[in-house]
Amino acid sequence: MKGIWGAVILLSAVAPLVRLWRGPSFWDRVAGANSLNVRVALVLALEGVLGGRAVLLDVALAYALLGFLGAVLLARFGERGER
């Protein structure tokens, strides 16, 4: 990671980590996990752009898509559990 951008992304990941760890509800944990997935995709894309490795952009896109699908599946699972 390149300097200041790595620190900014790391600092922005603190609140979702706390939300994922402490909860208190299932939905708070889903939101925290989704937010962390976005930051990981951002790190991959940033490293791809700044490092000149275009393959990381494809990996970031695939990771973001899988993270979105995971959040949708968790939301469906959470709705079924509350009925």
Please report the pLDDT score of residue 82 as a whole number: 59
Query: What does the block give as tokens for 79?
Result: 């709705």
pTM: 0.83
Sorting pLDDT into bands at 50, 70 and 90, what band is 6?
confident
Question: Can you tell me the distance from the alpha carbon of 40 to that of 23, in angstroms, rounded to the nearest whole number?
Answer: 20
In which domain, by residue range, is 37 found? 3-81
3-state secondary structure of 83: coil
- Residues 43-71: tens digit of each pLDDT: 999 999 988 999 999 999 999 999 999 99
Give the Cα separation of 26 and 7 in Å (integer): 29
In contact, 34 and 71? CB cutoff 8 Å: yes
Alpha-carbon gap, residue 67 to 71, rounded angstroms: 6
Domains contained in the chain, number? 1
Confidence of residue 34 (pLDDT cuts 50, 70, 90): very high
DSSP 2: -
